[in-house]
Structure 1
Amino acid sequence: MAGSLYFWEMLLPALGLCLPLNRREKSLWKAVACMITGVVLLMVIMKLAQTKYEGTLISMGENIMFSMMMLGWFLVIWSLVIGCIYFFVQCSLREAMYIFALSYGVEHIFYCIRLLTEWLTGGHIGNTAPLIYLPCMAGSFLLAYFWFAKGAAYQGTYLLEGISASTSSIVLIAVVWGLSIVAGELNYAHIHSIYAIPCCIFMLSSQREQLRREIERTEFTKKEQLWEKTKLRYEMSKESMAVVNQHYHDMKHQLMALSTMSDEDKRKAKLLDMESRIAAYEAVVKTGNEILDTVLTEKKLTCQINHIAFSCIADGAQLSFMDELDIYTLFGNALDNAIEANRKIENAKNRWISVQIQRKKGIILIELINPYQGTVDFDESRMPVTSKADRESHGFGTKSIRSIIEKYDGQMIIKTEGQKYLIRMIFQGKG
């Protein structure tokens, strides 16, 4: 009975730590198979111990064989829990051992709380009494999931590459376990509990903070890469637009000169040729915001190439409160998504994008609408789930949009209706 209780004491915090992580295919069946195998081995060891030492009170030092059997008992349970972790979530054996070390730290906190309760009540409330045992079991799971895992996991995994203290944490847990065994044999378990609780809390806290810093570092690296790419695209777009504007004005003057040509046929042929060339430059958008003009013109030219109708009613002056690169990144990502959705529509007559930027009743409203083909799935936070294989890379564009909106205390609403995809951004009027 004690063996099965200890197994569940270890498994519950491990489950809490694994909940936010990516699961393996058929993970439940694999974990159950591992559990059954381990339970059988555990029962064999316990049966051998009961047969050989039943009714005999001995200490670890009095019987080497008994001590080895007890060590084997612990190793079977630990291996069982590590195996369940390994087969349940997508992780390496090293990562499974790291998660186990964390779960042991959580379990040991509540084990020590039970021992202290027993000691403080003079044994009236035993450490396995339901009054204290059940709340501690529940507490170990809740602490592991809500306090640790929920804020330390990143996209279904723990970022262990930059965690320098993972090995030392496992060593620390081993030391704590060894001291708890020795203290128990010497009847000083309550003294051990007093220093073991803060020791485990310190270890768990340091690991949680390191994991969170690793998440921040990863996010910063991705944003920095996106920033550099956006900056490069913006500079290229500015240069391209300068050339477009120069050609546009040159061609206007050429048209005026051609209008005085005496050869009617040549004049008409030249005019038709130049008018067709000018049509491409009519993509230039003027909104009153140079940065917005750049990105909208760039995307409008892309729309022309892909036979996508592009309509824009925009008061760019309303975006003066935003940083230049934020404007470029925000509209660049949103319009790239809209263009990609239109490309999937076979009939070019059904391709279109609508952009509106206006101020209404003290708020700045931005709306981008486009048609789409197929279905759009959303995650728990109402963010669209990309259909591309490289989910992490492509999903970051939408996250970047949301990040910029939140930077300016705005709101974002994404919804679909009648095969139309709408992204609405709302900002409080600035000034």
Structure 2
Amino acid sequence: METLPDIPRVLTGLAEWAACLVYVLLRRQRLAVPRLVAVAAAALGVLVAVQVLADHLPLTLWSLGMAASAACMFGFIVTAARVPAREAGYFAARALVLAELVAALHWQMHCFFFLAEGRPGLVWQVVFGAGVYAAAFGLASWLESRHFRPTQPLDVTPGELASAVAIALVTFFMSNISFLNANTPFSGRLGLEIFYIRTLVDLCGFVALYAQQGQRLQHRASAEVKAIDEILRRQHEQYLQSKRSIEIVNRKYHDLKHQIGVIRSEGDPSLRASYLDSLEASVSGYAAQADTGNGVLDVILTTKSLECAERGIDLTYVADGALLDFMSAMDVSAVFGNALDNAIDGVLAVPDPEKRLIKVAVYSRDRFVMMTFENYFTGELRTEDGAIVTRRADRDRHGYGLKSIRYTAEKYGGSMTVNVEERWFVLRILVPLPVGVERAPA
């Protein structure tokens, strides 16, 4: 096989540095310019030095040099971009493939134009190389900016990180295998064709990572559309509930006018007192606005209390709403709205009116917030794959309440459990308090 010069290690280090810089500049929370310049200059020296030192290692330690270079790229990104380790790893995997692609593309073109004798000299080679690097990284920066918004969080999952790292490692290995060992089924043996194969493999790796990020964004967009649909649905339900509450108040007002007239005309003091007691009992279910310390929870509990009073359900609650201040309004609404809707549906199916009870509690225990919802229910719980499913016939529109609650609890690092004993249904949600939030145990 014709012996061809491999990419100079200095150029490889430069490519890795420029690729990292592409992703650092995509983040708004990066270091201030003076510190960024200092860190970038230091990173350039380190990456070039690591590549030069790795060039003197025996072939058996090739993987060690590769790992050291990847670690330096990771350190540069996590320091300069100020992103979590998982996101820095995701960027480092992409930067590794991008660096390999640009370095391979430039060197393939360099060998074609400058390898033979009598070709342009060193100055033209430097100008040509600078032009290729600037054009390639500029194009990559523009492409990646379409997928990475400066203020948009990445929210990379462990599975997505593992997938990106796997693509990067396979791409790196397959693009360099011909230079490590020519006696494999995947090695090239035709001189300049080896460079073409390496560039093509690196291009496929970059395209695969680009497609992965596009798919991530598409999944996120779909999730946001579903979330918006859920918000609109719940807003419509709130409107209907508010309408029902107004109707309840109007009916009570109409009844009270007649009852007050009867009481006023009654001459017997004992009967008048009896009528007043009866009147007080009839309106006791329509208590004033809940006051838990959390505005969103107050609205939900007040609205649900009116609904329960109208349906003959006894809803009681003891809640320290201030414990939920670290949760978003939508998450508080999702948890308590879904939990109370499920509880109301459950107790309405109970034949005995005396057992139509719902108990709600919110309190702290150690460093956790405990939310419990308890009620009687009838029938049997249905499960599929270990998860409770809806008893309603329309399963395309129902059955997402507990899934939503579980998702919200896990979003804050918590958990949801369900326990059933002698027709008594208990839903418990345990969420850790954020650092810095101090609450006395209940």
> Which bin holds the TM-score, normalised by the shorter protein?
0.3 to 0.5
